[in-house]
Structure 1
């Protein structure tokens, strides 16, 4: 039995007779055409509560084509849009050959309204594409759920399982990492499988085995070989292959099983190695987490009271740029030794590349503050010798008390990170301070009130955007603007909040993605207006990690790029270096998808990691925006050499560098010589509510 064909058509126009004429023509192709007709914004917002198949836009009382695209994106709808115009307006929406400026599966901009045959064909084709898209999304949902179930099973499996792409590791579960003595998945990503195979014949045999499997030959899926770890030890193993998917992309799954010879000795060695940091000899993250969990249970049971100190090195990026990996390793080792000397009692761990933790019991708030000050002072006074050169470092310390009514360990740890963020704000990213997290300053009522205001700001457009020009040395112009978000409060002091004051609450209440979407849409609306008189204008927009991992971001960005003219490079999205490092594989895939639709990519706060260059090389952004540490005291020789070294290494990867925070003439005079393409700062021009092209 044939399914009844139905089209739900929404027309925004001032001429209802024209809309009814379209319905009459479309009736030849559909059993039923349901028409929605309106001509103003308020009616559109109400109407979008229903499901529509195609939206046709002509003229409206208080809406433009860009407004409609923005509203549809705001509502996160899969709704194809067709823009119409009259003969006299054709030049603004059509190319030199008289064709619409944009034609794809979700948008046509713009058809001539009186060419009814073209309009009807466009509606039918857009509707057919939408049906296919809905079916594809349904299938993707089924595949995603199946993949999620499989990945959960793999992550919890006791078997050593990994995913490879063209012989390169892109994922590994905990048993697999333990088998080869890796601390984290970041250490194994990018390594070829053949690095774990002993013997030329075994390597040759495995390459042929993998080649045959990739060609579709599934008769043989097992391969026996001698395997080796990174420390050179070997063991007999069996490898099995299977077809799988990861993030919707086809990959190859491998399972490695070792023979049981010397299993007790191997288990003992692995148990010791998985809790110790090889560089410092301290406990590593796993050792910390086990001790933290046990201590938390003891405190909750009323057997103790304790505290967590989270210690973050402030300037490791600059040390890496000026002294390289040797300087970083030496600094970390010296700080570890100093912590052991300063903290008489306590559990010290190296939590990550540039962070340490201390778990300590039975200290009052004053004693904790005194301990933190002692640690801060001792480390800031250190002179660290690296190959006949001397460097120094400072630390930021977040302190969290663990009491009988304590929250879960992860919440306590997040509070320690929040304390570090508080220091960053209070010291303008200079650090060299400590902060005791006070729960009374973060009461739920205050957070809830701010969360409600954020929702209202998104709904009623209460945010404000400011734009600061960026000078392009290569092009000798300043029509590139960085976008800043502000939230005015309706209080007596006319307070205006910057994102660092409300994004923690936004994260807790899952609002960051919606705020990011608001920035994108409203910045592109203003860009669209500016590009009418300055067609080369473009914007740089900072987004949060919520958007970095959002699979819909390339689609949203693509729609907005088309709405502002479809020119590659009109929109550049930038993400924090630490967020990129925390989601490295996802970031690489996301950056590639954004690049494919003509969106440029940037990394801000660049240079704060010991692996900044490696991160940039892996994800391949178009530009980087330097961290403030590099610009501060740039006139000092060591600081100048550090920034020059970082920019040279970045430019070697064909990545442009933006040098921000130019706030005085002395900094400006030096900035021309360091090799950066872009310059920005209050000395050049202050941010304003409009994009002022000069």
Structure 2
């Protein structure tokens, strides 16, 4: 396997053709081999002014191998050497078994020049060893600098910090000395730390605690105890241990915090602050999770019935494009105040950037629907002032009941969010209404039956794929195809399910990754046949969050790309913007890995969050596919400007935009002017189960 590296090879010999032969062989293992060739001492001294990775010594005009070793040692250069067999070294060249008499990480003595395989292997191994030494040197330097910074911070810290070795103090900062009543460092050095612990039980417990830490256990790093000062007075304290180094030697760091009488009150205030949303003043997601757990437990005991309302802002992307973060913040604050005012007998929290949760108790179904309708109406009628401009918004509300024997809180939340997705399906992503999750419509038996159909479809290829062309304005061609997945059911109505109808069940039964693999493999099989006719044909495939976090995905994609001809850019994989937002760092790393194997990246439903362009700038995809609500109503001047603004900002970070959902002539007429590179929709061509190339 070729390594992605450079080799700087210095050869001292009188046969330049031999040196060139070595370079030719080494090029199979390195991207670049830089050769230095000489045969006398003066040139050797000059050559050592620049860095080399390996020295191969054969014959020199005025220098022996021993001379070369001496020069390298005098110059203090870390340069591994390989000595080729000559008359000079023949007497000590080999041991009794006929092998080189010296083999180490810095020298091989001596190899026969005509045994080129051994010479090349030695060069590679010596170079690899050199790189390891260089990396170790750098790491030691980094550790040394980190230790220096840590020591400076500790000396100036207000926390009581000490270092111990085998249970004995070897260093303590001023707050530590003052806490225990030492007058100077010299008084503390050599004092066993157990001398500062009061009570036999505390001492016994601490010895066990310290013993476990020294053995490498990090499950417990805190120890609460009663501490004793040098004057005999005691105080309650908490001790924390951490591994550290002092002057390059491993030690144990000790931090001691004294418990104060008001610590409980401080902790209470801190806990309250952690539950509060800084923008709106209402509780945040953490507060909600604590509250729903309380309500859930009471419902399980039959003390009450309750309901969860998940309230999501609808037109966040447009507000962000028009007014930026200022517009989002103003909208969120106004909605939060309104909800808090309207639901005075319930609990309101800000769950995420643009979503709220409400918990209400002992309401009937009709009362819940009336509440949701009133909330939607009230917020829909609001006029929000932002920098001398007036905006409005709507909300979608998912409702799920909390009753005795109901599902656990995480499932309840998923049901409420699922209700939101149902709204988007029913309203074609318009939102602005509510949906009550009815468990009877999602019974376990139905889920299991659907899960079995999914497993059967994976095993027996019962899924269907359809392909919709995408028009590339830059190249005036339509050989880029988006892949759509469908699941035909064997029922009397010939029902065909779309992913939004079965992916929730697939997720609960851990089938997302297998479905993604099926789509990837079978779509690539289709395009493989097409590329035999049109070598420029490409695919755009939507995958789920399971693949976004799958470390094996780049290897799988690499194999598929090679199977289809190895063309870079032949395959573009897209993920939903919400999934990427939830796994930003993982997504960035996954995108880098996929790009390295020749796969391009897309983001679907782009513009659906307040930070869409920031997300794109961070993860750097190749293209984005606009959310549906940007294309709807594009004939109005305000909506058209919002779309142009979003596409313009996206193009500024060098990312292409796909404008989908072009369903009529009016939309098509403006699609050319918004700055998108790709156009797609039923007006251009409908999806088909076969890949149709434009004639």
Q: How does the TM-score come out when normalised to structure 2?
A: 0.65
Cα offset, 1:222, TM superposition = 3.2
CA distance in 2, matches of 1:237, 1:397: 52
Note closer, same or farther for the CA distance 1:258–1:598 as it changes in structure 2 (3 Å cut).
Answer: farther
Cα offset, 1:338, TM superposition = 1.2
CA distance in 2, matches of 1:647, 1:217: 46
Q: Which residue number corresponds to residue 543 of structure 1?
A: 543
Q: Which residue number corresponds to residue 592 of structure 1?
A: 592
Note closer, same or farther for the CA distance 1:505–1:256 as it changes in structure 2 (3 Å cut).
Answer: farther
Q: Which residue number corresponds to residue 282 of structure 2?
A: 282
CA distance in 1, matches of 2:544, 2:435: 24
Q: Which residue number corresponds to residue 652 of structure 1?
A: 652
CA distance in 2, matches of 1:256, 1:563: 57
Give per-residue Cα distances to partners, 1:220-262, cap 9 Å, x unaligned. Answer: 683453999xxxxx9769799xxx9xxxxxxxx9999796699
> Is the deviation greater in 612-621 or in 532-541?
612-621
Matches within 5 A, 1:443-462: 443-462=443-462
Note closer, same or farther for the CA distance 1:478–1:396 as it changes in structure 2 (3 Å cut).
Answer: same
Note closer, same or farther for the CA distance 1:256–1:667 as it changes in structure 2 (3 Å cut).
Answer: farther
CA distance in 2, matches of 1:649, 1:592: 22
SS at match of 1:592: helix
Cα offset, 1:497, TM superposition = 0.9
- Where structure 1 has 5 or more consecutive residues not aligned to the other structure, the ranges are 1-209, 229-233, 245-252
Matches within 5 A, 1:392-411: 392-411=392-411
Note closer, same or farther for the CA distance 1:342–1:597 as it changes in structure 2 (3 Å cut).
Answer: same
Q: Which residue number corresponds to residue 522 of structure 2?
A: 522
SS at match of 1:574: strand
Contact 1:575 1:604 in 2 (8 A): yes
SS at match of 1:435: strand
Note closer, same or farther for the CA distance 1:335–1:218 as it changes in structure 2 (3 Å cut).
Answer: closer
Give per-residue Cα distances to partners, 1:92-120, cap 9 Å, x unaligned. Answer: xxxxxxxxxxxxxxxxxxxxxxxxxxxxx
Note closer, same or farther for the CA distance 1:659–1:260 as it changes in structure 2 (3 Å cut).
Answer: farther
Q: Which residue number corresponds to residue 350 of structure 1?
A: 350
SS at match of 2:153: strand
Q: Which residue number corresponds to residue 273 of structure 2?
A: 273
Give per-residue Cα distances to partners, 1:396-419, cap 9 Å, x unaligned. Answer: 111111111121111111111111
Contact 1:213 1:221 in 2 (8 A): no
Q: Which residue number corresponds to residue 563 of structure 1?
A: 563
1:677 aligns with 2:677: yes
Contact 1:223 1:238 in 2 (8 A): no
CA distance in 2, matches of 1:673, 1:547: 35
CA distance in 1, matches of 2:437, 2:382: 27
Contact 1:227 1:236 in 2 (8 A): no
Q: Over aligned residues, Cα RMSD in angstroms?
A: 2.7
Give per-residue Cα distances to partners, 1:542-568, cap 9 Å, x unaligned. Answer: 000011111110000000000011010
CA distance in 1, matches of 2:464, 2:396: 32
Q: Which residue number corresponds to residue 337 of structure 2?
A: 337
- Where structure 2 has 5 or more consecutive residues not aligned to the other structure, the ranges are 1-137, 164-215, 217-242, 245-252
Q: Which residue number corresponds to residue 47 of structure 1?
A: none
Q: Which residue number corresponds to residue 431 of structure 1?
A: 431
Cα offset, 1:279, TM superposition = 0.6
Cα offset, 1:452, TM superposition = 0.6
Give per-residue Cα distances to partners, 1:557-603, cap 9 Å, x unaligned. Answer: 00000001101000000000000011111111100000000000000
Q: Which residue number corresponds to residue 225 of structure 1?
A: 153
Q: Which residue number corresponds to residue 612 of structure 1?
A: 612
Q: Which structure has the higher relative contact order (CA within 8 Å, separation 6+)?
A: 1
SS at match of 1:663: coil
4+ runs deviating over 4 angstroms: 210-213, 215-221, 234-240, 253-263
Cα offset, 1:489, TM superposition = 1.3
Contact 1:314 1:432 in 2 (8 A): yes
SS at match of 1:478: strand
Cα offset, 1:488, TM superposition = 1.1
CA distance in 2, matches of 1:333, 1:293: 26
CA distance in 2, matches of 1:353, 1:347: 18
SS at match of 1:292: helix
Note closer, same or farther for the CA distance 1:321–1:218 as it changes in structure 2 (3 Å cut).
Answer: closer
CA distance in 1, matches of 2:271, 2:385: 34
Matches within 5 A, 1:144-159: none
SS at match of 1:528: helix
CA distance in 1, matches of 2:381, 2:419: 23
SS at match of 1:222: helix
Cα offset, 1:218, TM superposition = 7.7
Cα offset, 1:344, TM superposition = 2.6
Q: Which residue number corresponds to residue 317 of structure 2?
A: 317
Q: Which residue number corresponds to residue 301 of structure 2?
A: 301
Matches within 5 A, 1:567-578: 567-578=567-578
CA distance in 2, matches of 1:223, 1:595: 42
Contact 1:623 1:658 in 2 (8 A): yes
Q: Which residue number corresponds to residue 510 of structure 1?
A: 510
CA distance in 2, matches of 1:256, 1:484: 59
CA distance in 1, matches of 2:418, 2:405: 20
Q: Which residue number corresponds to residue 195 of structure 2?
A: none
Cα offset, 1:386, TM superposition = 0.8
SS at match of 2:639: helix
CA distance in 1, matches of 2:537, 2:284: 49
Q: Which residue number corresponds to residue 142 of structure 2?
A: 214
Give per-residue Cα distances to partners, 1:455-492, cap 9 Å, x unaligned. Answer: 11111111111000000011110000000011111122
Contact 1:283 1:350 in 2 (8 A): yes
Q: Which residue number corresponds to residue 328 of structure 2?
A: 328
1:419 aligns with 2:419: yes
Cα offset, 1:520, TM superposition = 0.4
> Is the deviation greater in 649-658 or in 261-270?
261-270
Question: How many residues were matched structurally?
Answer: 470
CA distance in 2, matches of 1:314, 1:257: 50
Note closer, same or farther for the CA distance 1:370–1:553 as it changes in structure 2 (3 Å cut).
Answer: same
Cα offset, 1:535, TM superposition = 0.2
Cα offset, 1:635, TM superposition = 1.1
Matches within 5 A, 1:470-481: 470-481=470-481
Contact 1:235 1:259 in 2 (8 A): no
Higher CA-based Rg: 2
1:642 aligns with 2:642: yes
CA distance in 2, matches of 1:485, 1:239: 62
